[in-house]
């Protein structure tokens, strides 16, 4: 049997490693089009908005190499997938070549979202690759005025990193607080206050009307009439799943490759998905979800590898995301829903803390900043499906 994994970023690399770790004797091929190295393999991305962006001397090596894959007995085919023929069981590559498969794993991840008028150009950057981070770092010379468009996790990390370098940084976010989609309104407001205290110039509740300038960016005009002088603009507009090459293939594509709880693509045989690109039926929540975090890429790769090597497995893990900023690590277990109640059970929102959110009688998420030891018992309760009252009584 030949298993072809398309996408040589974290999910794809961990899938082929998982197959070999589980002693699969299949013919395994990894197809990669990442620009980090000549062999098309990506770098590990979490450091790109933090340590790597902060200065030279920090490397961003690829997740694997042709030599390491060769030692595992995994073939590497550099190239960008452009179409999928399920009838002929072939993946078409840019340039006209194709790769045959018996089983396919889609691990093409996600790509930065673009909005008309907010596309990368000289002085305007998105951050996805090590080359992107290096270009942003080179442009943010001493005295550079930086505008970050988007106040999600990545935008907040970039703003904090560049503030640490002494750059003037403004963040534009249409919502009323930073990171509000991941943290909810109250926690988002708390971290917004922290960024303001760190000297980040915040423009909340406003969008971008235009990026002004000729050959180079000069300013960012906002929808509320504010004009922000800018030498560098970094776009943090979120991402979209990389499924364009699958259009017309017969796969169900609704904000990702729609899969069952085992991560098998619905309605077809022999196709699986892992990482940012997979939308699956989550057994814990009873609904389709898509998660764009490092941990989920690793976990979904493990689930796919298990299923392909004879160990039926569902992906029911509690979502987990972390972000390093403001001098500490923020950790979120579960999902923070805007309608849920929030209780701070350790510390307070101006320092280290552990906060719980709950709704419908259940503990829904555990959020910690610092206070790692104090967070762990509540994480165990969340994994066990604890009720809201039970969680509060444990505080």
283-288 contacts: CB < 8 A, separation 24 or more?
283/314, 283/315, 283/316, 284/316, 284/318, 284/385, 285/335, 288/254, 288/258
pLDDT for 59 equals 81
pLDDT for 40 equals 74
- The rounded percent of the chain whose pLDDT value lies above 70 is 99
Q: Are residues 69 and 26 both part of a single domain? A: yes
Domain count, the chain: 3
Residues 75, 395: Cα–Cα separation, whole Å: 51
Q: Are residues 346 and 363 both part of a single domain? A: yes
Lowest average pLDDT, out of 21-25, 107-111, 241-245, 368-372, goes to: 21-25
377 in a structural domain: yes
Q: What is the pLDDT of residues 286-334, one digit of tens each?
A: 999 999 999 999 999 999 999 999 999 999 999 999 999 999 999 999 9
pLDDT for 117 equals 86
Which of 119 and 199 is assigned the larger pLDDT? Answer: 199
The residue from 172, 205, 235 where one domain ends is: 235
119 in a structural domain: no
Q: Rounded mean pLDDT of 107-119?
A: 91
What range defines the domain where residue 362 resides? 327-393
77: Cβ–Cβ under 8 A, 6 or more apart, which residues?
29, 30, 31, 32, 93, 99
pLDDT for 37 equals 60
391: Cβ–Cβ under 8 A, 6 or more apart, which residues?
356, 358, 363, 378, 381, 382
Q: Are residues 226 and 260 both part of a single domain? A: no
């Amino acid at each position: 049997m030949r298993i072809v994994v398309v996408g040589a970023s974290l999910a794809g690399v961990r899938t082929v490693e998982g197959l070999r770790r589980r002693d699969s004797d299949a013919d395994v091929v990894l197809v990669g089009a990442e620009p980090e190295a000549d062999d098309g393999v990506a770098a590990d991305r979490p450091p790109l908005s933090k340590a790597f962006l902060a200065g030279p001397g920090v490397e961003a090596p690829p997740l694997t190499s042709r030599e390491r894959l060769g030692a595992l007995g995994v073939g590497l085919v550099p190239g960008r997938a452009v179409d999928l023929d399920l009838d002929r069981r072939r993946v078409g590559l840019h340039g006209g070549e194709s790769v045959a498969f018996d089983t396919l794993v889609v691990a093409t991840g996600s790509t930065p979202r673009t909005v008309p008028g907010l596309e990368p150009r000289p002085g305007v950057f998105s951050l996805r690759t090590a080359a992107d981070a290096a270009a942003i770092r080179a442009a943010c010379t001493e005295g550079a005025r930086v505008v970050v468009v988007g106040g999600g996790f990545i935008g907040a990390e970039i703003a904090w990193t560049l503030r640490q370098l002494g750059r003037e940084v403004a963040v534009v976010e249409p919502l009323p607080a930073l990171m509000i989609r991941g943290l909810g309104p109250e926690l988002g407001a708390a971290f917004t206050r922290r960024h303001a205290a760190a000297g980040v110039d915040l423009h909340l509740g406003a969008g971008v009307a235009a990026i002004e300038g000729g050959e180079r960016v000069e300013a960012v005009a906002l929808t509320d009439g504010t004009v922000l002088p800018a030498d560098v603009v970094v776009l943090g507009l979120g991402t979209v799943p990389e499924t364009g090459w699958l259009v017309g293939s017969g796969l169900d594509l609704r904000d990702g490759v729609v899969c069952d709880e085992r991560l098998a693509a619905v309605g077809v045989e022999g196709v699986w998905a892992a990482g940012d690109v997979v939308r699956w039926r989550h057994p814990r929540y009873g609904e389709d979800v898509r998660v764009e975090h490092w941990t989920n890429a690793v976990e979904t790769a493990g689930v796919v590898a298990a299923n392909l090597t004879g160990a039926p497995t569902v992906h029911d893990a509690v979502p987990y995301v972390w972000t390093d900023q403001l001098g500490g690590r923020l950790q979120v277990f579960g999902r923070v829903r805007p309608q849920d109640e929030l209780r701070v059970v350790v510390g307070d929102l101006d320092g280290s803390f552990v906060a719980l959110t709950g709704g419908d009688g259940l503990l829904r998420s555990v959020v910690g900043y610092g206070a790692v030891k104090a967070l762990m018992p509540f994480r165990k309760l969340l994994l066990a499906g604890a009720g809201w009252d039970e969680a509060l009584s444990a505080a």
